[in-house]
Amino acid sequence: MTASLPLFYKKPEPLDAAKHKTLALKPGFGLSFTKQVNAVPITMIEMPQICHHYPIAFSPDQNATPVAILGLRDNENLFLDEDGEWEPMTYIPSYIRRYPFIFSENPKNDQLVLCVDIDSAIVEEDGEQRFFTDDGTATALSKNALEFCKSYHAAAHQTTELGKALVEADLLVERTAEIMAPNGKKINFSGFRIIDEQKLMALDDKKFLELRQKGFLPFIYAHLFSGAQWQKLSALLAKHMK
C-alpha cells in the first residue's frame, strides 16, 4: 500500500491463508467508521442512484474524482444517526460497502491482491465469520469480497476516465455552498468542484459528441440533477442540531 492510506483504512494487509488462518470479521461491526467523514468517493456507474440521495461534487485535484457529499461541517456524516444506523431508504455508496476489503496493486506484475483492514474494531481471532477454513481454503465471505472488489476496481477505472474527460473539456468550476443552519448561522461548504452547466451548453459539437460517444452524458446529467439534494442536507443538518 502507499504511504498515504485510502479513506477509512488504518492497516490494510494482504489476506494470507497461513498468517490469517483463524482471523474473522467481527459480526455487525456496522457503519460507525464513517461517522467523521463528510464526503466519500463514488464510482461513475452508481451516479444515477447517488443523485437521488446525495449532492455529487468533484475533488479539486487533477483526478476530479466524483464524491457524494455526506455532511456540511467537518467531521460530520449527516446520514449516520447516534446508533450507527444509516438514514433509512438511502443508497449507501459502494466505497463504504466495500470496507474493510480493498485491492492492493503489486507494482512488479500489476497483480491485484485482496487486502483486509487489520483493525481490532473490525476483525477478531477465532470468530464465526472467518476468512479461511481450517484447511486454508477461502470462505464464501472472502470469495464474495474478492468479486465485489473486482467489480469496484473496474468501475473505479471507468470513473478515472470520466474525471479526465471533464478536466480536458474544462467543464469543472469551483463552488461554495452557502447553507443557513437552524440556529441562523451561515455554513460555507467549499473545496469542491461542479460541472458548469453554461460551459456544458457552450461546448462545441465535436467535444460534446466525444462525451456522448464515450457514454459519459448520462453521468454528467446525474451530477447536475444531484444539485437538488443540497436541500436534503440542510434538512438533515436541522434534524441533527435538534
Assess if residue 230 is contained within a domain: yes
Provide the pLDDT confidence category of residue 185 given band limits of 50, 70 and 90: confident
Residues 6+ apart with CB under 8 A from 183: 241
What's residue 2's pLDDT?
43
Asked, for residue 117, whether it belongs to a domain, the answer is yes
Give domain status of residue 153, yes or no. yes
User: What's at 67, amino acid-wise?
Assistant: V
In a domain, 7, yes or no: no
Identify whether 30 is part of a domain: yes
Residue 98 has what pLDDT? 97
For residue 1, name the pLDDT band (cuts at 50, 70, 90).
very low
Residue 4 placed within a domain: no
Residue 214 pLDDT exceeds 80: yes
Assess if residue 3 is contained within a domain. Answer: no
Least confident span in 16-30, 57-71, 84-98, 170-184: 170-184
Q: Take residue 24 and report the three cell numbers written for it.
A: 474473522
Q: Using pLDDT thresholds of 50, 70 and 90, give the confidence band for residue 176.
A: confident
Instruction: Answer yes or no: are the C-beta atoms of 108 and 6 closer than 8 Å.
Output: no
pLDDT mean over 45-56: 98
At 151-162, the pLDDT tens digits run: 999 999 999 999
Return all residues near 78 (Cβ < 8 A) that are at least 6 apart: 70, 71, 72, 87, 233, 236, 237, 239, 240
Distance CA 150, CA 24 (A): 21
pLDDT, average across residues 91-111? 89
Please, what is the average pLDDT of the chain?
93
Nearest to 231 by CA among 15, 23, 55, 10: 55
C-alpha cell at 77: 456524516
Asked if 12 and 99 touch (Cβ cutoff 8 Å), the reply is no
More confident call, 86 vs 104: 86
Cell for 138? Answer: 477461502
Domain coverage including residue 91: 12-241
Q: How confident is the model at residue 107 (pLDDT cuts 50, 70, 90)?
A: low
Radius of gyration of the chain (CA): 20
Grid cell at residue 182: 437552524
Does the residue 49 lie in any domain? yes
Q: How many domains does the chain have?
A: 1
User: Residue-wise over 69-98: b if at least 16 C-beta within 10 A, else e?
Assistant: bbbbeeebbbbbeeeeebbeeebebbbbeb
